[in-house]
Structure 1
Amino acid sequence: MNLEKAIAAYQQALSVRTKKDFPIDWAMTQNNLGAAYSERIRGDKAENLELAIKAYERALEVHTKKDFPEEWARTQNNLSLVYRNRIRGDKAENLELAIKAYERALEVHTKKDFPEEWARTQNNLSL
């Protein structure tokens, strides 16, 4: 029930936090919405994962590697987790998409600069 309330609240926030007027807040809300959909129990699991992918992809419109590298890497990691668990589409292709997103995250989450994130991503990549 809490995720349902969170999803509703994020959707309401997006009526004010528009990409045009509040791009950073909009992207953060999209990222949070993606996380909520990826963990959602109610509804169709496959559809929830697709909604999570769309929300993360929207967040990446603002959270670019150039302008927001840490948020970009974090969102890439989140996106890879959803692709790894994706139900729709070809399983092998979904895993390739997950691997590519993990590799993109590692462009920022280097062993030197972000050792914990680097190790976590390396671990996720090995699963």
Structure 2
Amino acid sequence: MIASGERAENLEIAISCYTQALQEGTRARFPIYWAMTQNNLGAAYDQRIRGERAENLEIAISCYRQALQEGTRDRFPIDWAMTQNNLGAAYDQRIRGERAENLEIAISCYTQALQEGTRDRFPIDWATTQNNLGNAYSDRIRGSVPRI
């Protein structure tokens, strides 16, 4: 399959490739490879142009959550932090569910990501996550002062 260069088509090809990779790179045989591929598949669905946006985000969230089952903080702290950041971003954009709850989950994910993705170790990743966290707090519904 040769990509045409069109973004939407390239994302569809990426989704197909990741899905095929998961047929051999199973969780049982290659757990960290499986987790990495789940994270990549989640990112492709997060960016997907085709299909319903709400459904694409739900699939992305599912992929990120699955990745975190094997890519744990103890075993792979940096990958874990990256996936937490990705999961936070998906919840921040989530269409389904209650907006206030989605933002609280996003804030929690970003905060967890900062536990491993520290300023000293990964300054640009830290800055990106801090920016994401700031945006989530800026949009936060719970615990905020009512606007007049």
Provide TM-score, normalisation by structure 2: 0.84
Shift of 1:19: 0.1
Partner of 2:46: 38
Dislocated runs of 4+, deviation >6 Å: none
User: Separation in 1 of the partners of 2:88 and 2:99?
Assistant: 13
User: Separation in 2 of the partners of 1:8 and 1:30?
Assistant: 12
Partner of 2:24: 16
Shift of 1:112: 2.1
Partner of 1:48: 56
CA shift digits 1:74-118 (9 cap, x unpaired): 000000110000000000100000000000001001222222211
Q: Number of residue pairs matched?
A: 127
User: Separation in 2 of the partners of 1:43 and 1:104?
Assistant: 31
Provide TM-score, normalisation by structure 1: 0.97
User: Secondary structure of 2:24's match?
Assistant: coil
Partner of 2:15: 7
Identity value in percent: 58
Does 2:89 correspond to 1:89?
no
Shift of 1:123: 1.1
Q: Which runs of 5+ in 2 are unaligned?
A: 1-8, 136-148
Match of 1:68 among 66, 76, 100: 76
Shift of 1:119: 1.4
Match of 2:123 among 107, 115, 121: 115
CA shift digits 1:11-46 (9 cap, x unpaired): 111111100001111111101000000000111110
AA aligned to 2:69 is: E
Partner of 2:144: none
